[in-house]
Amino acid sequence: MAAQEEGQANGQRLLFSAIAEKVAELGTEITAAYPDGDLLVLGLLKGSFIFLGDLVRKIERPLQVDFLVASSYGAGTTSSGNVRLLYDPETQLEGKHIVLVEDIVDTGNTLRKLLAVLQERAPASLAICALLDKVEMHQPMPEVRFVGFQAPTAFLVG
């Protein structure tokens, strides 16, 4: 039994190490993509908050952080297709480079709705960063510029 537990612990360390390395790579990519101008990292709560916290520590330039909350799931495990904006960022978006941070891109419905809302506020640029991207699920696909890992189409938690 001890060997099995040790194997699981080693597997978890490898997984966490791979995630930490990928977050550092994403931070480097974002730093390089936005050498100047105002950068706003906008987290989609609640799922993105830990990923966003780790990510902003790896972005080596001044930035601002804010959040928004949207819902499309209701009580189920599949998207209802009805996206509701529950909390709108108070930060001025006009003229800023915005990186919208999401934990998992699933169908893309929520992101398409949010991109339309955010684009109306005249940012200098708008990009998506996701830790996990279920690229096979989006129709039509929103462009996810900064991707940690491609994920299977299964329901994911955690």
Which sequence positions are flagged as catalytic?
A: 106
Separation CA 96–CA 78 (nearest Å): 33
What interhelical angle do 2-33 and 49-56 show, nearest 10?
60
Q: Are 6 and 126 in contact (CB under 8 A)?
A: no
Separation CA 4–CA 90 (nearest Å): 50
Q: Minimal CA–CA distance to 107: which of 82, 158, 141?
A: 141
Q: What burial class does residue 152 get, using C-beta atoms within 10 Å of its C-beta: 0-12 exposed, 13-18 middle, 19+ buried?
A: exposed
